[in-house]
């Protein structure tokens, strides 16, 4: 009898799960933008379109979106003097709403001085150490994630517009190689989930195309903002692999390539994801 009842319970649970998937699938009419010629997708779709209507509503409401606490904190930091030069971010850049507009949408960018690309976190710390003579912020620190979110937010609604030609080309190719390389005990690549299986239901959620236009993103699971390289790191942990270090050349190349995969998508920072 216990076996019969147990089997019935399993079947009932499976039926409810399939029903929930069907209902959500009807809700989520995923809209995207046409991909440019030669792109891996025909339609480029933001991770926003793979979330529930409740999560999308939370992102859309600036008063309810928990990521806006970081924007507010960083708006104060933007004006705060730090370092031996007696400068704030505003001392050099003025009002962020004007001078930072479009900056986050185009990162990573090529640095002639460093002869390599830099992303937004790195550029913020370059400004701190070289121009303010202040201590750089540690990766994953609240300060660096908040300021990255604030600067990126100034490009909200603008299309992702990274450059991949010229000196960026070998970095783009390196990022592409990493994206398609299987790693870890599960022998999976980024493409295994986000290219071959996006839209499918896995681990109580739908796999997205893995776009980066919303980062830093507020993850409901973690109850905090997550920078992009931490998400890269987490994905590699999930497949039982050994991740590269955040802000490493490898993750920087991967960031460039994945940003290109979302070229033209509007910046959503701070987005909300599960």
Q: How many CB atoms are located within 10 Å of the residue 219 CB?
A: 18
Rg (CA), the chain: 20
What is the chain written as a DSSP string?
-HHHHHHHHHHHHHHHHHHHHHHHHHH-----EEPPTT-S-SEE--GGGGS-HHHHHHHH-TTT-TTHHHHHHHHHHHT--BTTTTB-HHHHH--HHHHTTTTGGG-SEEETTTTEEE-HHHHHHHIIIIII--PPPPTT-HHHHHHHHHHHHTTBTSBP----SGGGHHHHHHHHHHHH--BTTTTB-HHHHHTTSTTSEETTEE------TT-SEEETTTTEEE-HHHHHHHHHHHTT--PPPTT-HHHHHHHHHHHHHTTTPBB-PSEEE-
Residue positions counted in the chain: 274
Cα separation, 137 vs 195, whole angstroms: 34
Residue with tokens 């370092």: 83
From the candidates 127, 190, 193, 235, give the one annotated as an active-site residue: 235
Instruction: Assess whether 193 carries a catalytic annotation.
Output: no
Q: How distant, in Å, are the alpha carbons of 173, 178, 193, 257 from that of 188?
A: 19, 11, 8, 18
So which residues are the catalytic ones?
235
């Amino acid at each position: 009898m216990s076996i019969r009842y147990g089997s019935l319970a399993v079947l009932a649970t499976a039926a409810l799960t399939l029903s929930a998937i069907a209902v959500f699938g009807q809700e989520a009419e995923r809209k995207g933008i046409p991909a440019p010629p030669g792109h891996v997708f025909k339609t480029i779709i933001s991770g926003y379109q793979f979330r529930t209507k409740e999560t999308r509503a939370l992102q859309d409401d600036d008063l309810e979106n928990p990521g806006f606490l970081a924007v507010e904190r960083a708006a104060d930091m933007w004006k705060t003097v730090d370092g031996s030069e007696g400068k704030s971010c505003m001392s050099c850049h003025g009002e962020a709403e004007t001078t930072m507009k479009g900056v986050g949408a185009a990162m990573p960018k090529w640095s002639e001085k460093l002869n390599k690309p830099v992303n937004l976190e790195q550029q913020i710390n370059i400004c701190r150490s070289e121009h303010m003579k202040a201590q750089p912020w540690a990766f994953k620190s609240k300060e660096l994630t908040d300021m990255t979110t604030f600067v990126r937010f100034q490009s909200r609604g603008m299309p992702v517009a990274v450059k991949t030609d010229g000196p960026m080309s070998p970095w783009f190719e390196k990022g592409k190689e990493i994206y398609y390389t299987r790693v870890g005990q599960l022998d999976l690549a980024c493409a295994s989930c986000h290219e071959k299986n996006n839209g499918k239901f896995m681990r109580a959620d739908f796999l997205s195309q893995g776009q980066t236009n919303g980062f830093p993103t507020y993850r409901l699971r973690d109850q905090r903002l997550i920078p992009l390289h931490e998400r890269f790191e987490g994905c590699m942990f999930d497949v039982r692999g050994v991740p590269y270090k955040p802000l490493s050349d490898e993750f920087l190349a991967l960031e460039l390539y994945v940003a290109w995969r979302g070229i033209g998508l509007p910046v959503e920072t701070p987005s909300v994801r599960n």
